Amino acid sequence: ETGVTQTPRHLVMGMTNKKSLKCEQHLGHNAMYWYKQSAKKPLELMFVYNFKEQTENNSVPSRFSPECPNSSHLFLHLHTLQPEDSALYLCASSLILAGDAYEQYFGPGTRLTVT
């Protein structure tokens, strides 16, 4: 599959579980992002990775832990979540080149339900 892929597409987990969301981009980009999209607060930026380095943590609770092993892969590790964490989690990637902000390419999202 080309573009930005996310797995799993749907996830149901209990509050004591540990799970991970995976994102992979096949576009040769050097920046990756995690967003949370819910009915109450659409499209909240969570984390930004530029050249595998985390450059933004938007006051996200520590129960969300990102990992970027290389510029093509991004993970979001989840543990002891709360029901209010139920949302659509979107991954995106973009190219950072010569100080210019290029468009972001989004994945299809993982629909997370915390029970």
Which residues form the interface with other proteins (CB under 8 A)?
31, 33, 35, 42-43, 45, 48, 50-51, 53, 55-56, 90, 92, 94, 96, 99, 101, 103-109
Least Å distance between CB 103 and other proteins?
4
Nearest CB to other proteins, comparing residues 11 and 90? 90
Nearest CB to other proteins, comparing residues 33 and 64? 33
Least Å distance between CB 51 and other proteins?
6
CA distances 67 to 21, 41, 84, Å, are 10, 24, 22
Distance CA 63, CA 55 (A): 19
Nearest CB to other proteins, comparing residues 16 and 69? 69
Residue 86, token pair as written in the block: 């139920």
Distance CA 112, CA 115 (A): 10
End-to-end CA distance of the chain: 31
Distance CA 76, CA 28 (A): 20
Least Å distance between CB 76 and other proteins?
17
